[in-house]
Amino acid sequence: MTSSFQPLPNPDTAAGSPRKVGVEIEFAGLSEAEAADLARAELGGSVQETGQRKLSVTDTRLGTIDIVLDTALRRLSDDGLVDAGLDAARGLIPVEIVTEPLDPGDLPTLDAFRDTLRQAGAVGTRDGLLLGFGVHLNIEVVAPHAPHTLATLRAFALLEEHLRASAPIDVTRRVMPFVAPWPRAFTDALLAEGADLSFDRLRALYARHCNSRNFALDLLPLLAHADENRFASLFPNQTNTKGRPAYHFRLPDCRIDDPNWSLAQEWRRWWRVETVASQPEVMAALSEAYSTRDHRALGDRTTWANTCDEILSDVLADTAK
């Protein structure tokens, strides 16, 4: 199943080029070699071994696609015991497909390949109790310091509970530490800045409250890209984080074995965030409602998600088209 990928309200970078998106898909049910062979057959190119348990399919219609067993242990897989253990745990350790930054117009081609993987036996996070597999979207920003970027982050802060409630992630991923909500203290502080939020203030607040990769929206790659020296000073325990000018949206489940699921559905979740960010009147209504909410109320997250539904009725109607 493929469906449409709605264009973002601000489709170009500050330099005037189309904003690209990299995609990461985690799944089980197929080996790295099987997935690579399927990619070569459908998208062209050639398969090369580029690391331990890592294959690259080069010169495809989508550029280079890396296919890797997604675990730090793969780097030790020349050890016989570790190698045997990885094979035994293959159903629990995801194979991950990682694309290079793609033009948005290439996303339907990737989504069609995702369906090929499904038909070949790929399974996602709902296939077992321990399969907390996800899809990550790395959406290029207009520019790190652009007002649009800061508005988008404020929109996500306002909408995160709504996004989680509108398409709940699998219980396995909820109990794992990889896609935690932004801490309430960070969200409150971020939104208290309002439209006066600056990139320097964002960076300081994130260092104080969110010094981790394990959030539904991970900002560390963006912060590392914006200023390497400042990042190293504020995040000394994140030396392995590679900078890139992108939002790292980690929330979506991988439901690759569901014939009614597509990457376009997860793209629409992010599209909703940027659409709200581009509508000052909607941002103002959400911000006003948030500022008057009772943080002590029982079931506060659910209550706020329902409030968002009411305010976003017109925006939500657009996402169904």
316 pLDDT band, cuts 50/70/90, is low
Secondary structure letter of residue 198 according to DSSP: -
Determine contact, residues 245/140, Cβ cutoff 8 Å: yes
Per-residue pLDDT at 116: 98
- Mean pLDDT across the chain: 86
Strands (E), 194-263: 217-218, 246-249
Lowest mean pLDDT among 49-58, 168-177, 217-226, 263-272: 168-177
Q: Residues 216, 244: contact at Cβ < 8 Å?
A: no
Written as one string, the DSSP assignment of 283-315 is HHHHHHHHHTS-TTSTTHHHHHHHHHHHHTHHH
Report which residue type is found at 283: M
pLDDT (0 to 100) of residue 294 = 61
- Which pLDDT belongs to residue 151? 98
Over the stretch 103-160, which tens digit does the pLDDT of each residue have? 999 999 999 999 999 999 999 987 654 557 899 999 999 999 999 999 999 999 999 9
* Tens digit of each residue's pLDDT (9 = 90 or more) over 42-81: 999 999 998 777 999 999 999 999 999 865 433 333 444 3
Instruction: Check residue 201 and give its pLDDT.
Output: 97
Weakest-pLDDT range from 3-7, 193-197, 227-231, 237-241: 3-7
> With 50 as the cut, is the pLDDT of residue 321 above it?
no
* Per-residue pLDDT band at 300 (split at 50, 70, 90): low
Please give the pLDDT value at position 36.
Answer: 98
- pLDDT-wise least confident of 28-32, 86-90, 201-205: 86-90
Q: Which residue has the higher pLDDT, 200 or 129?
A: 200
pLDDT for res 237: 93
pLDDT attached to residue 112: 97
- Residue 106 DSSP label: G
